[in-house]
A and B are shown apart, each in its own frame.
Chain A
Amino acid sequence: MHELSLVQGIINAVNETASEREGRVLSVRIGVGELAQFDIRLVRGLLNDLKKGTPLEGARITVAAEKSRVKCLSCGKIWDFQELAGPMSGDEREMMHFLPELLNSCSRCPNCSKSYFEIEQGRSVRIIEVVLDT
């Protein structure tokens, strides 16, 4: 649904960086979080299509999935999101699809039973690295 806007945003951000530093883009590394709810294959395809005619054309673009990491702020245990999603109802899974921050509203820590999580990783799409030839 949002992949097109996302890819346009990535291209704009990389273009800005390249323009500011007056460099040619050699490579870009992008991480797509497990909870960011983007179709990674679609992101790759759109990047390949939309980079044409931009400073990204000719650059090596890597798009990799990033696993989630959720920390219980009560007991300190680290969880994979999928470990917490097991007992969720269909409605709750749907809710999490849009707003993973609502994890505290529908899940408890299997270790200490508290609902006090923080999503440490896997929530966002990140431009991890842009390599320029300056």
Chain B
Amino acid sequence: MIDQRLARTKRILLVMSGKGGVGKSVVSAALAGSAAASGLRAGLMDADIYGPSSALLFGAKGLPAEGESGLVPPTLGGVKVMSVDLFASGRPIPLAGSGANEILLELLALTDWGTLDCLVVDMPPATGDIMLTLTSLRKEDVGAVVVTMPDRLSTSVAHRVLDLLRGGRVTTIGVLGNMIRGSAKNKGSGPRKLAEEFDVPLLGLLPYDPSVSIAVEKGNIDSLLRTRFARTLSRSMSDHLRP
């Protein structure tokens, strides 16, 4: 069923890090928004079931409409957005056992994405069931973008993720450094070293940009796309969004 749902999705980008708080959700939202702004048919799947934020970032509210062949994700800023928070509406989401993965599978099975050039997936922290599910999709064009902050705590977890991805079904597209500050000389040395060690591209170094918080507070994707952070991301990733 899930294979059928994703059959008309040309490219899937898994935005992951292993660690929480490095900016995956904002990167995912800006990536999907950039894809739509460049004319691609884009979708965003919020796979962070315990701490969903994609709906909030896009200002999406209310239950998705029930179409003839599945749930129709709301379209905001040209992006089709699906998140468990469209159902939970801000309620806590306590789940036992495999509950989070069950919800993810259910959302994937129910959502009618139509035809997409690019589906961005905002992955949850950790390397549990959801990561294993999404890195095992029976699709050709699935790539992983590993986001990390430059500090050792973030890069050490990103290192584990890159290690897990090595030799697997999913192509590692590269490493994306986020919230980068400091002098030009040592800027982004952590993400750079990671990319070198795993012999994957360093996709970009996204600046620490206080205007991101302001844009997030507004809860609309257009404000986010106008930030220096999003413009840098768009330039760094433009070649990787197209199928």
Task: Tell me which residues from 149 to 169 in chain B have a Cβ below 8 Å from any Cβ of chain A.
Answer: none
Most buried by A among B92, B99, B103: B99
**Bound CA–CA A104/B70 (angstroms):** 24
**Bound CA–CA A38/B67 (angstroms):** 15
Residue pair A95, B63 in contact (C-beta under 8 Å): yes
- In the complex, how many angstroms separate the beta carbon of B47 from the nearest chain A beta carbon? 14
**Which of A6, A9, A98, A116 lies in contact with B87, CB distance below 8 A?**
A98
**Bound CA–CA A104/B88 (angstroms):** 10
- A-B pair count, CB < 8 Å, reads 62
Task: Tell me which residues from 79 to 107 in chain B have a Cβ below 8 Å from any Cβ of chain A.
Answer: 84, 87-89, 91-97, 99, 102-103, 106-107
Residue pair A94, B63 in contact (C-beta under 8 Å): yes
**Which of B66, B95, B109 lies in contact with A104, CB distance below 8 A?**
B95
Residue pair B103, A101 in contact (C-beta under 8 Å): yes
Q: Known A94-B63, A105-B93, A115-B94; judge A99-B87 contact (CB<8 A).
A: yes
Residue pair B106, A105 in contact (C-beta under 8 Å): no
Residue pair A102, B88 in contact (C-beta under 8 Å): yes
Residue pair B96, A104 in contact (C-beta under 8 Å): yes
Q: Known A98-B63, A101-B102; judge A5-B92 contact (CB<8 A).
A: no
Classify the secondary structure of A's interface with B: helix
Task: Tell me which residues from 74 to 129 in chain A have a Cβ below 8 Å from any Cβ of chain B.
Answer: 91, 94-95, 98-99, 101-102, 104-106, 115-118, 123
- In the complex, how many angstroms separate the beta carbon of B23 from the nearest chain A beta carbon? 26
**Which of B1, B66, B99, B103 lies in contact with A1, CB distance below 8 A?**
B66
Kindly list chain B residues whose C-beta atoms are within 8 Å of the C-beta of A42: none
Task: Tell me which residues from 50 to 65 in chain A have a Cβ below 8 Å from any Cβ of chain B.
Answer: none
Residue pair B91, A106 in contact (C-beta under 8 Å): yes
**Bound CA–CA A15/B1 (angstroms):** 16
Interface residues in chain B, defined as those with a beta carbon under 8 Å from any beta carbon in chain A: 1, 4, 63, 66-71, 84, 87-89, 91-97, 99, 102-103, 106-107, 109-110
A selection of 28 A-B contacts at a CB cut-off of 8 Å is: A1-B67, A1-B68, A2-B1, A5-B1, A5-B69, A91-B89, A94-B63, A98-B71, A98-B87, A99-B84, A99-B87, A99-B106, A101-B95, A101-B99, A101-B102, A101-B103, A101-B106, A102-B91, A102-B93, A104-B92, A104-B93, A104-B94, A104-B99, A105-B91, A105-B92, A115-B94, A117-B96, A118-B97
Q: Which 10 A-B pairs have the closest CB atoms?
A: A105-B91, A104-B94, A95-B87, A118-B96, A101-B99, A101-B103, A101-B102, A99-B87, A105-B88, A73-B96
